[in-house]
Amino acid sequence: MTALHSTAPRTGVDVLDRCRALVRPALAEAVGRLHPRLGEMAGYAFGWCEVGGGPAAGSGGKGVRQALAVLGAEAVGGHARAGSTAAVAVELVHVFSLLHDDIMDGDASRRGRPTVWAAYGTGPAVLAGDALFALAVETLAAVPDGGGAVRLLSAALGDLVRGQADDLLFAGRPWTGPERVRPAEYRAMAERKTGALLGCAAALGARLGGAPPATVAALDRAGRDLGIAFQIVDDVLGVWGDPAVTGKPVHGDLRERKKTLPVLVALEAPGAHHLAALLESGRRPDAAAAWIEAAGGRSGALDEARRRIARAEAALGALPLRAGPAGELKALLDFLVGRDL
Amino acid sequence: MTALHSTAPRTGVDVLDRCRALVRPALAEAVGRLHPRLGEMAGYAFGWCEVGGGPAAGSGGKGVRQALAVLGAEAVGGHARAGSTAAVAVELVHVFSLLHDDIMDGDASRRGRPTVWAAYGTGPAVLAGDALFALAVETLAAVPDGGGAVRLLSAALGDLVRGQADDLLFAGRPWTGPERVRPAEYRAMAERKTGALLGCAAALGARLGGAPPATVAALDRAGRDLGIAFQIVDDVLGVWGDPAVTGKPVHGDLRERKKTLPVLVALEAPGAHHLAALLESGRRPDAAAAWIEAAGGRSGALDEARRRIARAEAALGALPLRAGPAGELKALLDFLVGRDL
């Protein structure tokens, strides 16, 4: 019983562990309703098993979205079950989007293992994604007054798809000139692609937990800001991150010619044509990284991330939330982005 | 005004034309909310435009599902708008499933044109399918009391995915022995893959049109029976159909070693091992077709289709439906399967 009454602040890792453990039974029950072959693929994607169904050697994702859903419900005094239902829905949508995005991006590995399409084939991975998507909708539609909850989820789904479409199209656009990708466009893409589902997670938890519309909307907004910050930190790590920590090659995003925020901010500075030539050649990513840093790309991106986190924290601070879960939300924000800023 | 007061029975083609014209504005409005690039892909899939957005040379599908939704609403005295909303949702789901199924099945052409993945690439086709799926859910979630409507749709979505998974797995199973695919399994697959969305179309139209649950359930069941019959007729045409009419090679489904109902029924008759060897070799599809016919595969399959249609017609006859739309439903059934039985 000690843990329940403990007032020691939890770390972000503790929060994620607690929420994953809380949601796991409901998530496993939902996945268990899938066609057995698709259920195995889902279990593989969640990091629960290997190909063939044997016990997992690796681990799954952090479970950020399910934690936001649980904390969203708890913070407004909702029942544990409300948080769990919201968590199942957003986690299913998240894994659906990973499965399909890995196909679109041609990524053959994720967290040190083959991606689902690489392990099971493209067709089965498309179908397993569709099954997870359908299951997410079914999960929410089954709750009383599920209409409003499905509206929140379907808005996030629309944003997710639109953000992915923007991101795919960014690759084909020039580095400079009037057709270039502006930082503002990038922020809008990141909000849709990463922020919408984080916002939906917290908002859905709160809504199913019985919160009034204003609280639901404020949590949605805070989650979107967190998502943008999260994406920017990921972008910065993709250029300057330590390969031993990120598990990705040094300057990886520059080698892949990705149009991330540090790059786009630097391209707005004088001398963009020189940087563009360097990026386009794909050679000397170290020189490109140094140029981007000197042009203010790194600091500009991190400033933006800090502003977003400050805004999210201010929004949470202004809401009438229960102290315990609100503290855990803060710990989660610090863990996800704060430590890198 | 004559047309409105005409009592002349409409043909199935007239019914399909009328419903497509009725639904088109709402469907175009929904598709117009997509990311422009995805909207063009959707328009191409609907047969509205060619690659690049130019006017369409060919035509789209018949629009069976949207017609069932419109007639479901009209038959219970619902508002035209109810039928239109239901029609938009089911048609979006149908095209989503075509896009993804064509990827899974590796089909490069449909109705004489390249499939969406063949024309635009696999990744974009996956994303466009996801966008249509999300739009369908959003469309229903937006109506008052959308929760129940979304429940109907998500149940059909779950069936659709499960039916596709079953169908993909059938290909890897043996022709004979205890692991063979039984006719009953095939019927369950066809009900999920083809019947569920036809049933959902009629049921959703009726539900949004204000029908009581028993009527909604009966229309769902009738649509499912129609779907199974429709699939079986397609199977029979896939073996014995005239290539000039079907647009497919003679004995096409036998060449592709498809496990369709006529084949599975024949494999339950004596001498299955001989037929299995003939099918496995892929040579002499004409001999295999003759064997299947002699073993009762063709007649057995058509008997099943006739039973399903009779059941659907009896169910419709027992419901308190408005005469005009009920007559059109009957004309539609005749057009879709009756003429081939």
Digit-coded pLDDT (tens) for B241-286: 888 777 777 888 898 899 999 999 999 999 899 999 999 988 899 9
Locate the domains of chain A by residue range: 10-340
Question: Residue A7: pLDDT band by 50, 70, 90 thresholds?
Answer: low
CB contact under 8 A, B130 and A168: no
Q: Which of A196, A173, A292 is nearest to A236 (CA)?
A: A292
Q: And the tokens for A65?
A: 């979205």
Mark out chain A residues that contact chain B at CB-CB < 8 A.
Answer: 34-35, 37-38, 100, 103-106, 122-124, 126-127, 129-131, 133-135, 137-138, 140-142, 144-148, 150-151, 153-155, 157-158, 160-162, 164-166, 168-169
The interface pTM score, or ipTM, of the predicted complex is 0.92
Q: In B81-170, which ranges are E strands?
A: 109-110, 113-114
The pLDDT, as a whole number, for residue A61 is 87
- B162 has pLDDT over 50: yes
Q: How far is CA A181 from CA A106, A189, A261, B149, B254, in A?
A: 22, 11, 10, 40, 52
DSSP string, A18-37: HHHHHHHHHHHHHHTTS-HH
Output the six-digit token pair for A262.
């540090």
End-to-end CA distance of chain A: 36
Contacts of A105 in chain B (CB under 8 A): 123
Tokens of A219: 């949590």
Q: How many CB atoms lie within 10 A of CB A173?
A: 12
Number of neighbouring beta carbons within 10 Å of residue B128: 29
How many whole angstroms separate alpha carbon B176 and alpha carbon B186? 15
pLDDT tens per residue across span A244-281 = 777 777 888 898 899 999 999 999 999 899 999 999 98
Report the alpha-carbon distance of residue B120 to residue B113 in Å, rounded: 12
pLDDT at res. B167: 94
Q: How far is CA A102 from the centre of its chain?
A: 14
Instruction: State if pTM tops 0.95.
Output: no
Better pLDDT: B73 or B57: B73
pLDDT value, residue B7: 53
- Measure the CA–CA gap between B203 and B223, rounded to whole angstroms: 8
**How many other CB atoms sit within 10 Å of the CB of residue B106?**
11
| CATH superfamily placement of domain A10-340 | Farnesyl Diphosphate Synthase (1.10.600.10)
Per-residue confidence at B3, pLDDT binned at 50, 70, 90? very low
Q: What percent of chain A has pLDDT over 70?
A: 96
Q: Using one digit for the tens of pLDDT, what is the confidence trace for B13-64? A: 999 999 999 999 999 999 999 999 999 999 999 999 999 999 987 677 899 9
Mean pLDDT computed over every residue of chain A: 93
Asked if the Cβ–Cβ distance from B157 to A142 is below 8 Å, we say no
**CATH, range B8-336:** 1.10.600.10
Contact B176, B276 (CB under 8 A): yes
- Token code pair at residue B291: 């064997």
Non-local CB neighbours of A127 within 8 Å, separated by 6+ positions = A38, B100, B104, B161, B164, B165, B168
Distance from CA of B184 to the nearest CA of A (A): 18
Question: Contact at 8 Å (CB) between B115 and B92?
Answer: no
Percent of chain B with pLDDT over 70: 96
Rounded to the nearest angstrom, the minimum Cα separation between A192 and chain B is 12
